[in-house]
């Protein structure tokens, strides 16, 4: 490790891109299968799924099967469709700008929960592999439960060649991302869209709270100065 080497790690879903993009992509894949298998118009299926997302989040396929009187095994079939489909998702401009900026002076990685096969398809669809130095699928390390277990965070540090105390973790989930990273000694940036304050209102395990990903480069730089300069004799 170089003396001034530092790393930044990002969560994936709802940090680097909106998870809703993936859900809507899955809904479109479901609409195609429902038309093929049971003859219902895609716009009907999409309308039901979108409405259920607002009122029965997590049970959209159950609601769809009930409303369309689909066979008993339809939900399992459609879950498999969502899991196996090629995601139609994209990075928004702020995420591309942030990753580009961070690569100029940082080692950059991603640590993501979820089924590795699904997360890998998201990574491919978003074109993230050339933009980062390491990608860790959390379920492949430790017990397999993923973040907030320590091992996925530590594996990312090993892959980047940077210790936890010179690493900043950026995520949206206070328990899985922020508390997990804090527990292994990382500085943390919690992205909370509903929060307009910064460090003064940060939860105990978050070094800083920001309302948007675009604020991460400047915030991470300030964290490195304030934390790591204290180690210089």
Residues 6 or more apart in contact with residue 84 via CB below 8 angstroms: none
pLDDT in tens, 47-101: 999 999 989 999 999 999 999 999 999 999 999 999 999 999 999 999 999 999 9
CA 76 to chain centre: 25
Nearest to 167 by CA among 195, 149, 187: 187
Name the pTM for this structure: 0.90
Whether the predicted pLDDT of 107 surpasses 70:
yes
Q: What is the reported pLDDT for 226?
A: 63
Whether the predicted pLDDT of 5 surpasses 80:
yes
224 vs 33, more confident: 33
Nearest to 135 by CA among 150, 156, 161: 156
| For residues 112-129, average pLDDT | 97
The dihedral built from the CA positions of residue 136, 139, 144 and 149, taken in this order, carries a sign that is positive
Nearest to 11 by CA among 128, 109, 86, 121: 109
pLDDT in tens, 195-233: 444 444 556 789 999 999 999 999 999 998 766 554 443
3-class state of residue 190 by DSSP: strand
| For residues 10-33, average pLDDT | 97
Q: What is the reported pLDDT for 205?
A: 84
Q: What is the reported pLDDT for 4?
A: 65
pLDDT in tens, 125-182: 999 999 999 999 999 999 999 999 999 999 999 999 999 999 999 999 999 999 999 9
Instruction: For the sheet with 208-210, list strands across it.
Output: 134-137, 107-112, 7-10, 167-171, 187-191, 208-210
């Amino acid at each position: 490790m170089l003396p001034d080497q530092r790393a930044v790690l990002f969560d994936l879903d709802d940090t680097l891109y909106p998870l809703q993009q993936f859900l809507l992509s899955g809904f479109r894949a479901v609409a195609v299968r429902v038309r093929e298998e049971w003859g219902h118009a895609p716009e009907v299926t999409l309308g039901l799924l979108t409405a259920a997302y607002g009122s029965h989040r997590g049970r959209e396929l159950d609601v769809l099967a009930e409303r369309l009187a689909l066979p008993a095994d339809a939900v399992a079939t459609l879950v498999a469709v969502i899991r196996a489909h090629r995601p139609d998702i994209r990075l928004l401009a702020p995420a591309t700008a942030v990753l580009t900026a961070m690569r100029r002076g940082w080692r950059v990685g991603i640590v993501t929960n979820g089924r590795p096969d699904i997360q890998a398809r998201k990574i491919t669809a978003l074109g993230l592999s050339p933009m980062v130095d390491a990608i860790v699928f959390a379920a492949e390390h430790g017990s397999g439960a993923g973040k907030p277990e320590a091992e996925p965070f530590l594996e990312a540090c090993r892959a980047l060649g940077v210790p936890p105390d010179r690493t900043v973790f950026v995520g949206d989930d206070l328990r899985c991302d922020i508390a997990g990273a804090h527990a292994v000694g990382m500085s943390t940036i919690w992205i909370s869209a509903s929060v307009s304050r910064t460090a003064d209102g940060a939860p105990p395990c978050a070094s800083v709270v920001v309302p948007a990903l675009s604020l991460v480069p400047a915030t991470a730089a300030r964290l490195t100065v304030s934390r790591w300069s204290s180690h210089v004799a």
